[in-house]
Amino acid sequence: MSQLVVMKFGGSSVADADRIKNVASRVTAKRKSGHRVVVVVSAPGDMTDDLIEMAEKITDNPSGREMDMLLATGEQVSIALLSMAINEKGVEAVSLTGPQAGIFADAVHTRARITDIKPTKIFGELKKGRVVIVAGFQGLNPNSDITTLGRGGSDLTAVALAAALKADVCEIYTDVQGVFTTDPRIVPEAQKIDRISFEEMLELAGAGAQVMQPRSIEVGKKFNVDIHVRSSFTEDEGTLITAEVPRMENVVVSGVAYDPKQAKVTLRNIPDRPGVAARVFGPLAEEGVNVDMIIQSAPESGKNDISFTVSRGDTKRAMKLLDSVASQLKAEHVVVDDKVAKVSIVGVGMRSHPGVAAGLFRALADGGVNIDMISTSEIKVACIVKEDDGPKAVRIAHKAFGLDKPHPKGK
């Protein structure tokens, strides 16, 4: 049956002429089998980094508008070259920048949100039988300026386009085979997941799985766009991220996520009075430092400890902000442990299976792994452990929930 398919290729897939030709082959094969095809591409290889480096030689503080003007050229190079490569194979193709494709975004430069998609032009080109190549990562803001969508922006373009076009599927081509039960570099027995629900994928991505940014999965969930994560190098099916995943009852945990680059910050002995948490976390939020887990110890003689985790890359910024806060609050001192990692298990099955968290804690204890902090959601249990214990903890969790054996396939 003829479908409307959105195919998205990342920067490494279009890094040089040979890879671009390879992408062109996949796209033309899809088109020749009768499907209507819209392709979304990122900037080639390191081009975005090169452009950022050029800007850094000019100024430490580029305006967001000009940065977007600069960075948007990367995807424009990709779409032109890919369109040429597809034309060369005898299939008509046409490239469109984000603005030409009717992608509208808000005015927040360098990390805009898509506000609307008007796909008239795309539908017009599809009707002419053409493959439409759209620049990922960019849109037009209300001032008619080019904006970029920030990290994972091309995935977002692809999923949002698939929603606007009511595409049958959005295929995300990557350098991995799909979504795995955990990182195969840590657990060689990790299994490729055939189907996973949006909410599980969201939790996995939020907990450190690198395959896709949460923003795109949110859009997929909101507009019910089936997302097929698959390899650019093989024809094998990858992982379908979708709304409903019928599963055998006994599948409780779908995957183990691992984030080795965490840091734990503790404010010791701060006064236990209302408003303290706001004073601590307000400035962090304003500066865009993402705080993950937060633990406040039981008060003892009117004093508290507050611990929280941040991405390790944010540690310095967080400390700078906290130094003044801590002295204002008369906290005794601020302690940083930047040698911690986060291990999380995710599965919708947890809802109907009590005791999953306890099972994880026991397995880790049996394996001699000490848990430092814990946070849970309805379908996730996350533990902070010593960085050195991280890979071991991942292996234990992966095995404890039977993920190292081929899944009984959901149909």
C-alpha to C-alpha distance for 101 and 115, rounded to whole angstroms? 14
For CA atoms 191, 311, 268, 277, give the dihedral sign. negative
The residues of the shown chain that bind a copy of itself, judged by CB under 8 A, are 16-17, 20-21, 51, 54-55, 57-59, 61-63, 65-67, 69-70, 72-73, 76-77, 79-81, 83-85, 87-88, 94-95, 97, 100, 144
The residues that bridge with 265 in the sheet, in sequence order, are: 308, 336
The Cα-based distances of 284 to 112, 148, 208, 318 in angstroms read 21, 24, 21, 7
| CB 46 to a copy of itself: min, Å | 14
**Measured distance CA(128)–CA(134) in Å, rounded:** 16
What is the Cα–Cα distance from 345 to 354, expressed in whole angstroms? Answer: 14
- Identity of residue 293: M
Q: Cβ of residue 134: shortest distance to a copy of itself, in angstroms?
A: 12
Backbone angles phi, psi at 309, to 5 degrees: -115, 145
Compare residues 21 and 111 and give the one whose CB is closer to a copy of itself.
21
Report, in Å, the least distance between residue 18 CB and a copy of itself.
Answer: 9
- Which helix (H) or strand (E) covers residue 382, if one does? strand 380-386
Q: Of 86 and 379, which has the nearer Cβ to a copy of itself?
A: 86
Dig out the tokens for 399 from the structure. 């095995």
**Residue 187 vs residues 169, 175, 182, 227, 396: alpha-carbon distances, Å:** 30, 18, 7, 25, 10
Indicate the helix (H) or strand (E) that contains 174: strand 169-174
Instruction: Give the count of alpha carbons within 13 A of 106, CB side only.
Output: 6
Query: To the nearest whole angstrom, how small is the minimum distance from the Cβ of residue 320 to a copy of itself?
Result: 24
CB of residue 55 to a copy of itself, shortest distance in Å? 6
Q: What angle do CA 347, 243, 356 make, to 5 degrees?
A: 10
Q: Which is nearer to a copy of itself, 16 or 388 (CB)?
A: 16
**Minimal distance in Å, beta carbon 380 to a copy of itself?**
41
The smaller minimum CB distance to a copy of itself, of residues 125 and 171, is found at 125
Query: Please, what is the minimum distance in Å from the beta carbon of residue 34 to a copy of itself?
Result: 24
Closest CA to 202 of 180, 219, 181, 186: 219
Closer CB to a copy of itself, 51 or 363, in the complex: 51
Taking the C-alpha atoms of residue 193 and residue 245, their distance in angstroms, rounded to an integer, is: 11
Residues contacting residue 202 through CB under 8 Å, at least 6 positions apart? 214, 217, 218, 221
Q: Name the residue nearer to a copy of itself (CB basis): 63 or 290.
A: 63
Radius of gyration (C-alpha) of the chain in whole angstroms: 23
Q: Judged by CB, which is closer to a copy of itself: 37, or 70?
A: 70
Measure the CA–CA gap between 309 and 207, rounded to whole angstroms: 12
CA dist 11 and 217 (Å) reads 19
| Min separation Cβ 229 and a copy of itself, Å | 27
- Given the complex with a copy of itself, which of 73 and 115 has the nearer CB atom? 73
- Comparing CB distances to a copy of itself, the nearer of 64 and 410 is 64
Give the shortest CB-66-to-a copy of itself separation in angstroms. Answer: 5
In the bound state with a copy of itself, the residue whose beta carbon lies nearer, of 19 and 215, is 19
CB of 80 to a copy of itself, least distance (A): 4
